[in-house]
Chain A
Amino acid sequence: MRNTKTKNTALLFALAFVIGCFFLLPTQAKAATKTNTFKYDAKSGVLYESAVRTSYNSTLNHYAEVYLPNEGDHISAVKTSKGLVAKVTYSYDLIGDRTTSCYEYDGNLDSDKRLSFKSKHEISFFAVKKGTYTAKFTVKNAAGKKICTKTIKVYAGNTFPCEYITYAGVKNFGSTIITKKASGKLKVKANSDYKVKKLEIATSYDADGQLVYKPLKNGGKIKLAKENKYKEFYYQYESGDPNDSQSYYYKHDSYSSYDFLKPVTYVKVTFYDKKLKTTEEAVIHIINVK
C-alpha cells in the first residue's frame, strides 16, 4: 500500500536522522505475507490498488496506483462517494517501441507472472472527515472506447499503525526510544483498525553483519543490547586453497567495522491492517544512552 509506504519513508528518514547521530541504519527485511492490495484483471489487463488508506483533513498526498496495458489507455473519469475528492494527479506514459519502453511491475502477484504495462497512473484522495469511501474509475482506450470500471475502497483515518510504545514504564510516541534503563517491559499498542501480529528483537549480529532477530512477546521483559559491534563486507573475492602451500591463493575483503557510540536495540513489529487485510513492518530503535 502506497500511502503508508510514504509515511514509513518519512518515519525512516526521521529515524535515519537520529540513528545517523549514533551511526547507521540497517536494511529492513520484507514480510512474507500480503503487503499490498493490488488486483489484476486478466481480461482487461488492468492492475490497480483495490483499497488504500488516506489521512483526513490533510494535504499529504495519498494515492492509489493504476497500471494500464496499451498505448493510449487512460482514466477518463473518477467518481466518488460523498465526502471524498479524487482525481488523476500523475500519469506516466510510454510511447512507441514496446520492447524498449515496456514497464514491468510485479505487484506482489505470482513471481513468475511478470506483467508489462504502457502507462502508470496515480489517483489522489482527500477527505475532510474520517470514514470509508469508494472511488470508481473508468478506463478508456486510445479510440475512446470504454474498457472497464473499477472500484477502490478508501479508508480515511489513521495511516500509521502504531499508537504508542511503552518501555520500562515510559510511554513513547514515535519509533525511537531514548532510555537510560538497560532492561524493562516492552509493549506496543496498535492504533484502531490495526493489530500487532508479531514482535521480534535484535541485539546481536551474524558473521555477515546482519541483525539476528528473535521472537518476543508483547508486554514481555527485554534486555537491551550492550554494544553494536559488527563487520559488514561490501566486496569479497577468493580463489585457490589457503591450506595448499603448493598453489597460489588470493583473497580480497573490503569491509566496514562498526562499533556504536551508544548501543541500539532493534524491535521489529509486524502489524496487521484489519481494513486492508495486509501486513506491514516497522522497526523501533531503542537507544541506551547510559
Chain B
Amino acid sequence: MKECKFYKYMATLCLAALLALFSSCDAHAAYVDDTANGVSYNDEAFVSSGYAYEYSKGAYTQTSINLDNEGDRITNVRVNKKGLLAKKTYESVSETTRNRYDYTSDSYKKETTCEYSRTYISLYGTKKGSYIVSFDVIDKNGAVKCTKTIKVKVDASVVYKKHPIKKITFAGKEIYSYYPYSTKTKGKLTVSLNKGYKLVSIEIGKRDSEGNYIYKKTKNKKTITLAKSAKYFRQEQYSNHSYKYSYNPLFPSTHIRVTVKNKKTKEVSSYTYTLETISKK
C-alpha cells in the first residue's frame, strides 16, 4: 500500500519535471541575443497566408536582425530546401569615413567605420512545411564570425472562421441593404448569433457636440433611432488667437456595437456596424 503511494508520488514528480523541461524549451525558442557576436534576432518565423496568397499562391513575412558591432554585415542567406524563398531585402546602415592621423607615415589615412546596421530577411513561402534559413555574420574584413539559423514554418492554408454574428437587421432589412444610406431613421434592431456565441451587449453610438461617439446600451429586438444630424465643434484657444473647427456631415452615422462571448474559449469580441442617414441642412 505504502509502496504504491510512493510510486504514484514518483510518477507525478517525473511528469512535473518533464513538463517543466518542455515548457522551458518552448520559452527558449524565441528571441536570441548573442552578446559575444553582437547579433540579436528571432530564431523562429511563421509564414501564414498573407495578402499575396490570393494572387500568387504564396505567403509572405519578414524578420529582422540587429547587429551591434561596427562593420558587421549579414551575407549568404540560404534555405535548406525548396518551397521557401529567403532573401536579404533591406539593410539600414550608418557609415563614417574619415582621416585618421598616422604617426608612422606622418600623414592622414582614410578609415571607414560602420556604426549601426539593421537587416531584414524577407520570407516567401509557396509550400507548406518546416524550413531552416541560415545566414552568416561577417566582420568588416569579410571574415565569417558566426552562422545563425531561423526555423521557419510555412502554413499557406486559409482558415476562415465563422463570423459570430449570423444576421443583423434594422427595420426588417439587413444592415448591408441600406445603400447608399438609410431613409428610415427609426426601426427595430435585431441581432442573431451563430452557434457557440452568447450576446453580451448591444450599444448605439452617436456623436456628441464635440464629435466623440457616445455609446448607450440597448436590448435586442428594441426600436432604435438613428442620428439625423451630427453637427459638432472643436476649438483651440491660445492667448491672442484661436482655431475653430465646425463639422456638419452630409451623412451622419450611427454606430451599432455588438459584443459577443465565445462560449468555449470565453473570448469576448466586439463588432461595429454603421448606418448612415442623409442630413441636407
Q: Is the interface of B mostly helix, strand, loop or mixed?
A: strand
- The answer to the question of B2 belonging to the interface, with a C-beta cut-off of 8 Å to chain A, is no
Residues of B within 8 A of A235 (CB): 94
Report the nearest A residue to B94, measured CB to CB.
A254
- The answer to the question of B24 belonging to the interface, with a C-beta cut-off of 8 Å to chain A, is no
Residues of B within 8 A of A87 (CB): 248, 250, 280-281
- The answer to the question of B190 belonging to the interface, with a C-beta cut-off of 8 Å to chain A, is no
- The answer to the question of B176 belonging to the interface, with a C-beta cut-off of 8 Å to chain A, is no
Report A110-150 residues with CB < 8 Å from chain B CB. Answer: 124, 126
Given that A249-B98, A253-B95 are known contacts, is A90 also in contact with B87, CB under 8 Å in the complex? no
Tell me the complex Cα distance, A276–B238, Å.
Answer: 40
Tell me the complex Cα distance, A242–B87, Å.
Answer: 35
Residues of B within 8 A of A101 (CB): 241-243
Residues of B within 8 A of A240 (CB): 99
Quick check: A97 and B93 within 8 Å, CB to CB?
no
Tell me the complex Cα distance, A94–B241, Å.
Answer: 7
CB distance from A201 to the nearest CB of B (A): 22
CB distance from B100 to the nearest CB of A (A): 9
Quick check: A258 and B50 within 8 Å, CB to CB?
no
Tell me the complex Cα distance, A103–B60, Å.
Answer: 45
Quick check: A254 and B246 within 8 Å, CB to CB?
no
* Binary contact readout A210-253 vs B (1 if CB under 8 angstroms, 0 otherwise): 00000000000000000000000001000010101111111111
- The answer to the question of A91 belonging to the interface, with a C-beta cut-off of 8 Å to chain B, is yes
Report the nearest A residue to B122, measured CB to CB.
A261
Tell me the complex Cα distance, A88–B248, Å.
Answer: 7
Quick check: A97 and B241 within 8 Å, CB to CB?
yes
Tell me the complex Cα distance, A253–B97, Å.
Answer: 8
CB distance from B120 to the nearest CB of A (A): 8
- The answer to the question of A89 belonging to the interface, with a C-beta cut-off of 8 Å to chain B, is yes
- The answer to the question of A169 belonging to the interface, with a C-beta cut-off of 8 Å to chain B, is no
Report the nearest B residue to A102, measured CB to CB.
B241
CB distance from B99 to the nearest CB of A (A): 4
| Interface contacts beyond A61-B251, A101-B243, A253-B96: sample of 19 additional A-B pairs, CB < 8 Å, sorted by A | A23-B90, A59-B276, A90-B246, A90-B248, A91-B244, A93-B244, A96-B242, A100-B240, A124-B250, A244-B108, A247-B108, A252-B95, A252-B97, A253-B97, A256-B90, A261-B124, A262-B124, A289-B56, A289-B58
Show the binding face of A for B, using Cβ within 8 Å: 17-18, 21-23, 57-59, 61, 85, 87-97, 100-101, 124, 126, 178, 235, 240, 242, 244-262, 289
